[in-house]
Structure 1
């Protein structure tokens, strides 16, 4: 049964032509099993495509409910970059999520949800004059 779920495909929203006003109306078939497998190979953090995790991330503090394709909880900034590259290769939409406290549904969508709130929590430089803070800054090379 688990193998069948890994090979599953799913219809997801995709971009329409940029000149067409309004939300995406097109759909595409996404090979969710191959996407999940590629993410598991590339990401050090957690990759969750199970129904329980989908249910947990289908809601935020708003009344909106959108079941995600899957959830990635990156441990490193390199994980975040890898998720973006892999999802781009598959044509999978991405949604970045922090604490899930939105009251307007910004943190739910039919996409791969990247939850930054568990591991990527370091606070870097404070700029009091400009009233800015740098969070989880990548190391300079």
Structure 2
């Protein structure tokens, strides 16, 4: 895997790309930056949400759950001093579908997505002293079709 971050020449904005040619923007909010992209710390949370979300969708489909929508939300606590590393990250999986979910299978899928199959989460938890990642899931009403 490869990735790069190229400074745009303005403020603190960087253009991000991966080896497959996908792009995004990163920046800091004021007073450092102009808030023209996702902050690097939030990119870590976004990456964790995407990684665990993709894994959860795959597992829930394999477990034949009636999945129609899934949103992963992350909230993190950071050290007050530099490097202001995350000390705890809480994930919430909001899951909805057309039918009845097996609560045990949903719990298993979200646990495996959080702690076993996500490379981003594994890297965070194994890092310097590790950062605890907590999670919960919520089955919500399916969006009205129309």
Q: Same fold (TM over 0.5)?
A: no
Higher helix share: 2
Higher strand share: 2
Structure with the greater alpha carbon radius of gyration: 2
